[in-house]
Amino acid sequence: MNAFETCALSVRRGSRDVIREVSIKLRVGEVVGVLGPNGAGKSSLLGAMAGELPARTGEVLIDGKSLADMDALAQARIRAVLPQHAALTFDLGLADVIRMGAYPFPEATPTQVDDWVRQSVLDADLTHLEAARYGELSGGEAQRVQFARVLVQARAAAAATGHAYILLDEPTSSLDPRHQLFVMHRVHQLARSENFGVLIVMHDINLAAQWCSRIVLLNDGMVASDALPASALTPETLEHVFGMPMRVFPHPLVPQRILVLAHGNGL
Amino acid sequence: MPDRDFSRNLAGSHHPAGHHMTRKAGLMILSCGLLFSGVLAISKGAFQIPVEHLLDWLTGNGGALDTVSTNVLISIRLPRVLLGLVTGASLGAAGAAMQALFRNPLAEPGLVGLSAGASLGAIAAIVLTPGGFYLIGSFAFAGSVITTHLAFVLGERSSGVSGLLLAGVAINAITFSLMGLIIISADDAQLRDLTFWNMGSLAGASWQVLAVLVPWVLLGVLVMMGRWRILNALLLGEREAHHLGYALQVIRWQIIALVALTVGPVVAVTGGIGFVGLVMPHLVRMWLGADHRWVLPASALAGALGLTFADVLARVVIAPAELPIGLVTSLVGGPFFVWMLLKGRAR
Distances, alpha carbon A207 to alpha carbons A179, A185, A191, B91, B237, in Å = 12, 10, 16, 52, 28
Share of chain A above pLDDT 90, in %: 78
Lowest mean pLDDT among A3-12, B59-68, B165-174, B334-343: B59-68
Q: Do A72 and B245 touch (CB under 8 A)?
A: yes
Q: Which DSSP letter does residue A212 get?
A: -
**How many angstroms separate the CA of residue B85 from the nearest CA in chain A?**
28
| pLDDT value at B347 more than 80 | no
Q: Decide: residue B317, CB within 10 A, 0-12 exposed, 13-18 middle, 19+ buried.
A: exposed
Distances, alpha carbon B286 to alpha carbons B8, B11, B73, B101, B113, in Å = 11, 8, 36, 18, 27
For chain B, the first-to-last Cα distance in angstroms comes to 17
A68 touches chain B (CB under 8 A): no
pLDDT of amino acid B64: 65
- Going by C-beta distance under 8 Å and a sequence separation of 6 or more, which residues neighbour residue B321? none
Contact residues on chain B for A156, CB-CB shorter than 8 A: none
Integer Rg of chain A from CA? 18
Q: Is residue A186 part of a domain?
A: yes
Residue from A69, A79, A85, A91 to probe the interface with B (highest B Cβ count within 10 Å): A91
Nearest alpha carbon to residue B296 among B30, B32, B19, B33: B30
ipTM score here? 0.91
| pLDDT value at B10 more than 50 | no
Q: What is the pTM of this model?
A: 0.85
Distances, alpha carbon B141 to alpha carbons A98, A173, B80, B304, in Å = 41, 51, 20, 21
Q: What is the mean pLDDT of chain A?
A: 92
pLDDT band at B17 (very low <50, low <70, confident <90, very high): very low
pLDDT of amino acid A28: 96
- Going by C-beta distance under 8 Å and a sequence separation of 6 or more, which residues neighbour residue B80? B41, B202, B203, B205, B311
**B2-346 CATH, one of 2.70.170.10, 1.10.3470.10, 3.40.190.290, 3.40.50.720:** 1.10.3470.10
Q: Pick the residue with more confidence: B115 or A245?
A: A245
| DSSP string covering B21-88 | HHHHHHHHHHHHHHHHHHHHHHH-SSS---HHHHHHHHTT-TTSS-HHHHHHIIIIIHHHHHHHHHHH
Q: What is the 3-state secondary structure (H, E, C) of B231-289?
A: HHHHHHCHHHHHHCCCCHHHHHHHHHHHHHHHHHHHHHHHCCCCCHHHHHHHHHHHHHC
Q: Quote the number of domains for chain A.
A: 1
| pLDDT value at A267 more than 80 | no
Q: Do A92 and B237 touch (CB under 8 A)?
A: no
Q: Distance between CA A247 and CA B17 in Å, rounded?
A: 54
Of the partner residues B11, B233, B247, the one whose CB lies closest to the CB of residue A71: B247
Contact residues on chain B for A136, CB-CB shorter than 8 A: 15
In this prediction, residues B158-185 reach a mean pLDDT of 81
Q: Distance between CA A33 and CA B212 in Å, rounded?
A: 59
Q: Distance between CA B72 and CA A22 in Å, rounded?
A: 76
pLDDT of amino acid B181: 87
Q: Pick the residue with more confidence: B134 or B288?
A: B288
Classify A129 as helix, strand or coil. Answer: helix
pLDDT in tens, B78-133: 899 999 999 999 999 999 998 888 777 777 777 778 888 888 888 888 888 876 66
Classify A89 as helix, strand or coil. Answer: coil
For residues A155 and A140, the answer to whether their CB atoms sit within 8 Å is no
Lowest mean pLDDT among A60-64, A198-202, B298-302, B321-325: B321-325
Integer Rg of chain B from CA? 20
Lowest mean pLDDT among A248-252, B63-67, B125-129, B251-255: B63-67
| pLDDT value at B241 more than 90 | yes
Is the sign of the CA dihedral B94, B95, B100, B106 positive or negative? positive
As beta bridge partners, residue A168 has A82, A200
Lowest mean pLDDT among B30-44, B95-109, B227-241: B95-109
For chain A, the first-to-last Cα distance in angstroms comes to 45
Q: Distance between CA B159 and CA A49 in Å, rounded?
A: 20
Classify B213 as helix, strand or coil. Answer: helix
In this prediction, residues B309-314 reach a mean pLDDT of 90
pLDDT of amino acid A214: 95
Q: Is residue A267 part of a domain?
A: no
Share of chain B above pLDDT 90, in %: 21
Q: Distance between CA B244 and CA A86 in Å, rounded?
A: 14
Residue from B159, B243, B251 to probe the interface with A (highest A Cβ count within 10 Å): B243
A107 touches chain B (CB under 8 A): no
For residues A192 and A29, the answer to whether their CB atoms sit within 8 Å is yes
Q: Distance between CA A159 and CA A111 in Å, rounded?
A: 13
* Residues of the domain holding A175: 3-262
Amino acid found at B163: G
Q: What is the mean pLDDT of chain B?
A: 81
A265 touches chain B (CB under 8 A): no
As beta bridge partners, residue A7 has A59
| pLDDT value at A101 more than 60 | yes
A255: CATH: 3.40.50.300
Of the partner residues B15, B233, B237, the one whose CB lies closest to the CB of residue A103: B233
Q: Do B15 and A153 touch (CB under 8 A)?
A: no
Q: Is residue A199 part of a domain?
A: yes
Phi, psi of A258 (to 5 degrees): -120, 165
Residue of B nearest to A154 (CA): B244
Q: Do A87 and B18 touch (CB under 8 A)?
A: no
pLDDT of amino acid B209: 82
pLDDT in tens, A60-98: 999 999 999 999 999 999 999 999 877 766 788 899 999
